[in-house]
Amino acid sequence: MRGSSVRAVATTTLIKGARSTRSTIALKLLMAASGIVFILFVLLHMYGNLKAFSGELAYNEYAEHLRTFGEPMLPYGGLLWILRVVLLASLVAHVGSAVALSMRAHAQRPVKYAVKKNKASSLSSRTMRWGGVALLLFVVWHLLQFTIVKINVGEGGQAVDITENPYRLLTAAFQPEQWWMVLIYLFAMLALAFHLHHGTFSAIQTLGFTNTAESRARARVAGWVVAIVIAGGFSLVPLFTVFGVIS
Amino acid sequence: MKLTLKIWRQANASEKGALKTYELDGVSSDMSFLEMLDLLNEQLLHNDEEPIAFDSDCREGICGMCSLMINGEAHGPEVTTTCQLHMRSFKDGDTITIEPWRASSFPIVKDLIVDRSAFDRIIQNGGYISANTGSAPEANSVPAPRDKAQRAFNTATCIGCGACVAACPNGSASLFLGAKITHLGELPQGQPERYSRVQSMVGQHDAEGFGGCTNIGECAAACPKEIPLDVISQLNKDLRKSLILG
């Protein structure tokens, strides 16, 4: 290869005993693993949401069952608390590694290109960072609305019968008068679809399962399937509620 | 043909640079891109101006010395090196923006020349096999499966030009690293040092300041040797295995 006639040879420093657990690839592995936790969670969450099509009784029963799941081995609500701890740990790992890698990327290119073409990257792959921030903001809003505060945007006030009834909290949120709420959720699901489209492929590649052109093509298909199934499945509930099918 | 060229001029590593516009007439479509720059430099010398500094060596696409970001594409619009790019890929009256590779790990030496010795240090830190010198062993004494040998040869075509780093929004050298890891890791001779190699080469890559990979694929699209994205998967797999093996 080329010799470095430009700099003195003395600048050559080779790293001895590299700590691979601190490497960029280890950070990516952490991001992939935590991302897979999120994918499994949203799949489960989407399945629960679709219970809305079975009516108020089935939906609320499912919600209650989530709390009594594993009793008496687990306490009431035990499964949900386990999930919350796992999700929070995954969030710290996912966002932490994203911030660390973004900072590296910015430090590596302080002077931008005057002209730069994108030849192969998908739009979803180029919107991972800001899309991720958008999803995080959405998750904060979503938790305030349905879990922490139980903001009943529909019928005003905090009527106990609504906040204690998950099905009614859901249907009240997506009435035609709150068409903007439906838009927020549809937009969030679009952001989720984008994030999952590249994220799924990227996780498979980071874990090292795409060593041939065929397996890479399959990983791309997996990205499409996960994105469409999850974002599509989630979108059904607000859409069918605003159009009065779920009431 | 007549061209408008916007070229990055920078006196040295510490000075600030800027794009400067030049008009160049009499460019033949049979010229290579570098011959076109030679023509411009003759014009600049004639006018007592400082010629544009750019890297080149073999000018036949095998040494990895030439670089250049041409209209936002590493090595320009064709899948080849800048020296093998010809002016027939451009039209009369075109405006061409020419910039150096942009990465902190490839500091600018002058104008369009960057210092890519970070790649040399990555190679020094594990990109080799240890073998006794002396007479060459009998070629068939170490059998190599055909598909593995083929993959090793394909990835060995990496010339270390740095286009992958230049095209990557994170300035990651993962494609380069993956090509070397795959090339050595597929062959029997590369096995003894396989997992220590990936650890030390990745360590050097990170210490040089290169960014992390986001698997977007701009590197493979820019690679003049068409190194496929799957070498990055191989790199990730080998590092993952090395973490488990300790």
Output phi, psi for B205, to 5 deg: -55, -45
Would you say residue A13 lies in a domain? no
Structure tokens of A148? Answer: 């922490």
Is A130 part of the contact surface with chain B (CB cutoff 8 Å)? no
What pLDDT shows up at residue A11?
45
Would you say residue A115 lies in a domain? no
Confidence of residue A3 (pLDDT cuts 50, 70, 90): very low
Residue where the block lists tokens 């499409």: A224
Q: Of A89, A170, A77, A185, whose CA–CA distance to A139 is shortest?
A: A185
* A119/B222 CB distance under 8 A: yes
User: Does the structure's ipTM exceed the value 0.85?
Assistant: yes
Chain A hits for B123, CB-CB cut-off 8 Å, are 1
Quote the percentage of chain B above a pLDDT of 90.
93
**What are chain B's domains?**
3-104 (3.10.20.30), 116-131+140-245 (1.10.1060.10)
Question: CB neighbours of A77 closer than 8 A, spacing ≥ 6?
Answer: A67
Chain B hits for A122, CB-CB cut-off 8 Å, are 216
* Shortest distance, CA B9 to any CA of chain A (angstroms): 13
Q: What mean pLDDT do residues B77-100 have?
A: 97
CATH code for the domain of A236:
1.20.1300
**Which residue range is the domain that position A85 belongs to?**
23-107+125-242
* Shortest distance, CA A213 to any CA of chain B (angstroms): 7
Average pLDDT over all residues of chain B: 96
Confidence of residue B239 (pLDDT cuts 50, 70, 90): very high
What pLDDT shows up at residue A6?
42
Strand bridging mode B95-99 / B3-9? parallel
- On the question of pLDDT at A1 being above 50, the answer is no
- Alpha-carbon distance B77 to B133, whole Å? 43
Would you say residue A27 lies in a domain? yes
What part of B 67-106 touches A (C-beta under 8 Å)? 69, 71-73, 97, 99, 102-105
Q: Of A47, A41, A129, A45, whose CA–CA distance to A85 is shortest?
A: A41
Is A5 part of the contact surface with chain B (CB cutoff 8 Å)? no
Strand bridging mode B95-99 / B73-74? unpaired
- Alpha-carbon distance B20 to B4, whole Å? 10
Would you say residue A11 lies in a domain? no
Confidence of residue B140 (pLDDT cuts 50, 70, 90): confident
Nearest CA in chain B to A214: B230
To probe the interface with A, which of B168, B215, B234 has the most A CB atoms within 10 Å? Answer: B215
Q: What mean pLDDT do residues B203-230 have?
A: 96
Radius of gyration in angstroms for the set of CA atoms belonging to chain A, rounded to a whole number: 23
Residue where the block lists tokens 């209209």: B71
DSSP B51: P
What part of B 134-173 touches A (C-beta under 8 Å)? 160, 167, 169-172
* Shortest distance, CA A243 to any CA of chain B (angstroms): 38
- On the question of pLDDT at A5 being above 80, the answer is no
**Number of domains comprising chain A:** 1
Nearest CA in chain A to B20: A114
Q: Of B175, B186, B182, B183, whose CA–CA distance to B223 is shortest?
A: B175
To probe the interface with A, which of B58, B206, B237, B238 has the most A CB atoms within 10 Å? Answer: B206
Would you say residue A10 lies in a domain? no
Would you say residue A41 lies in a domain? yes
What pLDDT shows up at residue B240?
96
Nearest CA in chain A to B95: A115
To probe the interface with A, which of B98, B155, B214, B218 has the most A CB atoms within 10 Å? Answer: B214
Is A214 part of the contact surface with chain B (CB cutoff 8 Å)? no
Per the CB < 8 A criterion, the answer to whether B79 and B224 are in contact is yes
